[in-house]
Amino acid sequence: MHELPDDSLADLMPLAKKVANALGSENYNILQVLHQFGEVMFVDHVHFHVIPKPNKEEGLIMKWDNKGPSQEHLDAVFEKIKKNVKL
């Protein structure tokens, strides 16, 4: 995805929205994975998974590690983003 031109990326989310609307889902997750460690991508491509979420028990269920990063780590990441992202 990081190699795609911005104008190509600009078309992807509206398309994912259209797919979600076509499925009739009011609640859904959109998932995009850049790399699966140890897996080979035979054809370079980008795609999004539109996963309907009909209720709390069905669809994509994500569990986060409640420990989370330290505030020091979060501050360092924030500074790196500020330094390297030009808007």
List the catalytic residue out of 2, 45, 47, 49.
47
Domains of the chain, each with CATH number or no CATH: 6-84 (3.30.428.10)
Whether the full predicted model's pTM is greater than 0.75, yes or no, is no
Q: Is the pLDDT of residue 45 over 80?
A: no
Find the mean pLDDT for residues 45-66: 85
Residue 22: what pLDDT? 94
Concerning whether 47 is annotated as a catalytic residue, the answer is yes
Q: Is the pLDDT of residue 83 over 90?
A: yes
**What is the CA 64 to chain-centroid distance, rounded?**
15
pLDDT tens for each residue of 4-25: 888 888 888 899 889 999 999 8
What's the mean pLDDT when you consider all of the chain? 85
Residue 62: what pLDDT? 81
Helix (H) or strand (E) holding 18: helix 6-23
Alpha carbon distances (Å) from 84 to 6, 36, 42, 45, 79: 17, 25, 31, 25, 9
How does DSSP classify residue 43?
Answer: S
